[in-house]
Amino acid sequence: MFKNYLKMAWKVLNRRKFFTFISLFGISITLMILILATSLLENNLGKNKPVSQLDRMVFLSEVTLKKVDKDTVWTIDTSTLDGIIHYDSSFAIAENNSWTSQSSASYYMVEHYLRKLKSPVKMSMFCAEAAFDVFYQGRKIVLQGNYTDGEYWEIFDFEFLEGKPYTQTQVDNQEQVVVISEQARDEYFGKDQPAVGMEMVVESRHYKVAGVIKGVARFKYFVAADIFIPYTLFQASAFTNQEILGPFKMVFLSEKPQQRAEISSEIKSLENKIVLSNTDYNIVRLDPMTYLEHASRLIFWRENQSEGLRIMILFISGVILLFILVPTLNLINLNISRIMERSSEIGVRKAFGATRYHLMYQFIFENILLTLLGGALGLIMAMIMIKILNDSKIIPHAELTFNIRVFIYALMVSLTFGIISGFLPALKMSKMKIVDAIKNIKI
């Protein structure tokens, strides 16, 4: 039976090559784009190294200080009467926000408040906003720097090509050791040269390389850097002042993903406990965020971070839905108008006792076969595109990868695609009356 279906499907595919081409073209291009999109999303926001514990992390990267005081607020209405502009002004007492200052946390803030949080099992402090110009053998190398503590390496699981991370003891002793990225090593020491134990001069400081990590895409907030340096080597002034705002961000790890809310609310509760020595401000706002919330906030800016994430999810699913719907409708349309082609076959089969369900199964089977074929083509095209995108470096430092999860998504999408686009035409076909079907036989 199965073999028969297969044979028949193959015959149909071969019969009208142009139509087969149209169908395959639509399916394969759609699937290729979907695979590329999932691969891009997976790469940027998925749970892969070095953020495998993504769903247990809470970040604190924004601290906001505000000066809010009660003030009279003037409202001016303009109206035109006989060509003359009149101003009507009215006033109300309202909160007036006169100064806002937003940055990350200071060392003082980290040590006095954030390190004392009870709910996280692990926490780390880092400053990812450093950049260094290094001139080496007549070449300029721009290195993105990240000052971290020792625990940073326990929270983020970087893949080490050689060597190992520096420890908290080394950080406390202000040892001049660094971890560098694969790209930094290639530029500084030469491609695939061993670097561990070697010396690197950055801003006239001599660092010893402790380890080399596999490069991370530039989009990866908080972890993308070329050189990781113990935070104790940061400018000394950062450790002595008592400001609240400073250069440091924090990441907190919860025991289980569900317990992240506890950490967030504990951070939020600090807002009322922080004593402001600077009288320019009277309100502190802390915005703990998950990784996804942070990403969506950067794309769809919203005051409220969970709303940003909701909009992003809505937006992405909306786009994907629309995107699948068009080729599906297209395929349905094509299939329906092609049924007549096969009316003789349907008539004969029905006359010999095939039931409606038999015919429907057969047709849907054929359609699934077509979409799977298109899916396979799309997969090949996606792989080629990924190779091209990676080689052309259109997206800087992004290594798009193709993994089994993306493949399963693609397979699932092709199957649904096939079933949905086959169902309506199959229904229509199976309803055809024998007499009509046989009468329509063309020469």
Partner 1 sequence: MITHIFKLIWNKKEANLLIILEIFLAFFILCAVLVFVIHNLQKYNEPLGYETKNIWVANMNWAPDTDSSSIGDTKTRILQEIATMPEVEQASYCMSATMPLGGGVWTMSDRTESGLEYLTHYMEADENFAELLGLELVEGRWFDKSDEQAKYPPIIINQKLRDQLFKDTVALGQILKISDERSIIGVIKHLKYYGEFGEEPNITIIDLPIHSTREPVLLMKIRPKTEAAFEEEINRTLQQVAKDWKFTIFNLDSRRQSRSHNTWVPLIALLSVSAFLILNVALGLFGVLWQNIQKRRGEIGLRQAMGATRMNIYAQFIIEMLMVTTLGILLGLLFTIQLPLLKVINIDHQVFMLALLFSALIIYGLVILCSIYPSHQASIIQPAVALHEE
- Provide the binding-site residues for partner 1, judged by CB under 8 A: 18-19, 22, 25-26, 29-30, 33, 74, 76, 87, 89, 131-133, 135, 138, 140, 142, 203, 235-238, 322-323, 325-327, 329-334, 336-338, 340-341, 394-395, 442-443
CB of 123 to partner 1, least distance (A): 26
Specify the residue, 322 or 404, whose C-beta has the smaller distance to partner 1. Answer: 322
Structural contact between residues 109 and 191, judged by C-beta atoms closer than 8 angstroms = no
Specify the residue, 27 or 263, whose C-beta has the smaller distance to partner 1. Answer: 27
Specify the residue, 18 or 352, whose C-beta has the smaller distance to partner 1. Answer: 18
Distance CA(363)–CA(1), nearest Å, equals 13
Residues with Cβ within 8 Å of 361's Cβ and at least 6 positions away in sequence, in order, are: none
One-letter amino acid identity for 395? Answer: I
Specify the residue, 210 or 312, whose C-beta has the smaller distance to partner 1. Answer: 312
Residues with Cβ within 8 Å of 67's Cβ and at least 6 positions away in sequence, in order, are: 97, 98, 99, 100, 280, 281, 282, 283
One-letter amino acid identity for 275? Answer: V
Specify the residue, 79 or 169, whose C-beta has the smaller distance to partner 1. Answer: 79
Specify the residue, 137 or 272, whose C-beta has the smaller distance to partner 1. Answer: 137
CB of 250 to partner 1, least distance (A): 22
17 token code pair = 């090559």
CB of 408 to partner 1, least distance (A): 23
CB of 332 to partner 1, least distance (A): 6
Between helix 17-45 and helix 2-15 the angle, nearest 10°, is 110
CB of 279 to partner 1, least distance (A): 17
Specify the residue, 258 or 333, whose C-beta has the smaller distance to partner 1. Answer: 333
CA distances from 234 to 3, 248, 250, 425 (A): 71, 11, 16, 68
128 token code pair = 């990812």
Distance CA(139)–CA(102), nearest Å, equals 36
CB of 116 to partner 1, least distance (A): 26
Q: Which of 87, 65, 85, 63 is nearest to 75 (CA)?
A: 87
CB of 299 to partner 1, least distance (A): 11
